[in-house]
């Protein structure tokens, strides 16, 4: 299911065939789907006045593999719609304070597992080769929540390559930083929910100028996914008020390693020079 309409249509289409208890759950979800996205099965059961086992059977009745999959579908629906205030109000109401650590870490772990199961190795190779074969400039952009990811990726690419430029907010407008983009350039756009308009606009501009667009995003149907020449998919399903960046960061780590492994000799020479510089400048504190 790709959107709200599909999810709700599924619930409504199956409604007449559902048991009385299942109809109570459907009614509650249709009225409170934003809250349900963060509810455990037991919490939803309590709110809908049914048993927890009824919630589990309801999930199967709708064609899901279990309640976690139904919950994930609800989160997919709302993750691009809710403000951070709405997320906070709903998630804090439904989080067990004694299980926050477990809940967040499990969510991060699930995002990595889902990413590994969905990622296309051939797409990953094509993205790697596009970076390695770039004859022009490699632009990296990811704003707001994705800023840390774009800075991390550009930092390591800059250590290995001489043609990397990070697009970021500073004293110049972000578009001024990409005004000279041309068809021999590559732009790597990192865009995750809630999708930042500025990132999408920058990537569109580069695309119009003929640059190759590489995307790190969560869906082929995301705004940046629809215009990318190649992409790597990474899940970022939310944990309360924050989006999980663990899987995207893991994918970026793999991309950095893949680029480095193809330029071993050059990278080793560069790192040798860096180590000399870092030692001379006392960049790192010795452990002992």
39 secondary structure, DSSP code: -
Strand 242-243 with 238-239, pairing: antiparallel
Boundary residue ending a domain (26, 59, 94): 94
Mark whether 87 and 225 lie in a shared domain.
no
Domain interval for residue 14: 4-94
Mark whether 122 and 90 lie in a shared domain.
no
Alpha-carbon gap, residue 199 to 140, rounded angstroms: 10
Structure-token match 């048991």, residue found: 19
In sequence order, the β-bridge partners of residue 217 are 191, 233
| Greatest alpha-carbon span in the chain | 75
Please count the structural domains in the chain: 2
Mark whether 276 and 137 lie in a shared domain.
yes
Mark whether 81 and 183 lie in a shared domain.
no
pLDDT of residue 149: 97
- The answer to whether residue 181 is domain-embedded is yes
Pairwise pLDDT comparison (183 vs 3), residue with the higher score: 183
CATH number reported for the structural domain that contains residue 179 in this entry: 3.40.50.10490
pTM for this model (two decimals): 0.70
Structure-token match 């919490």, residue found: 43
Mark whether 29 and 165 lie in a shared domain.
no
Mark whether 127 and 266 lie in a shared domain.
yes
Mark whether 20 and 157 lie in a shared domain.
no
- The answer to whether residue 288 is domain-embedded is no
DSSP three-state, residue 237: coil
CA pseudo-torsion sign 126, 131, 132, 134: positive
pLDDT band of 88, cuts 50, 70, 90: low
Query: Each residue of 271-280: pLDDT tens digit?
Result: 888 888 888 8
Q: Which two tokens stand for residue 230?
A: 């190649």
pLDDT band of 115, cuts 50, 70, 90: very high
CATH number reported for the structural domain that contains residue 59 in this entry: 1.10.10.10
């Amino acid at each position: 299911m790709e959107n709200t309409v599909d999810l709700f249509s599924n619930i409504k289409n199956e409604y007449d065939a559902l048991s009385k208890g299942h109809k109570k759950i459907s009614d509650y979800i249709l009225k409170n789907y934003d809250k349900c996205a963060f509810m455990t099965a037991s919490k939803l059961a309590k709110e809908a006045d049914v048993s927890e086992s009824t919630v589990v059977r309801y999930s199967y009745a709708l064609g899901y593999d279990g309640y976690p999959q139904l919950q994930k579908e609800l989160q997919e629906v709302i993750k691009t719609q809710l403000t951070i205030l709405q997320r906070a109000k709903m998630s804090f109401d439904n989080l067990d304070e004694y299980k926050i650590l477990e809940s967040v870490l499990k969510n991060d772990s699930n995002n990595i597992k889902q990413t590994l199961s969905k990622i296309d190795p051939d797409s990953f190779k094509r993205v790697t080769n596009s970076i390695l074969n770039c004859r022009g400039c490699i632009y990296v952009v990811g704003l707001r929540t994705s800023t840390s990811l774009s800075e991390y990726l550009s930092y390591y690419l800059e250590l290995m390559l001489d043609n990397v430029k990070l697009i970021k907010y500073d004293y110049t407008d972000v578009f001024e930083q990409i005004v000279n983009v041309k068809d021999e350039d590559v732009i790597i756009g990192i865009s995750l929910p809630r999708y930042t308009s500025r990132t999408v606009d920058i990537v569109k501009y580069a695309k119009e100028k003929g640059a190759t667009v590489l995307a790190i995003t969560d869906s082929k149907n995301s705004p940046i996914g629809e215009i990318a020449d190649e992409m790597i998919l990474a899940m970022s399903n939310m944990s309360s008020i924050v989006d999980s960046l663990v899987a995207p960061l893991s994918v970026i780590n793999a991309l950095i390693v893949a680029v480095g492994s193809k330029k071993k000799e050059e990278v080793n020479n560069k790192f040798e020079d860096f180590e000399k510089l870092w030692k001379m400048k006392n960049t790192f504190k010795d452990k002992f």
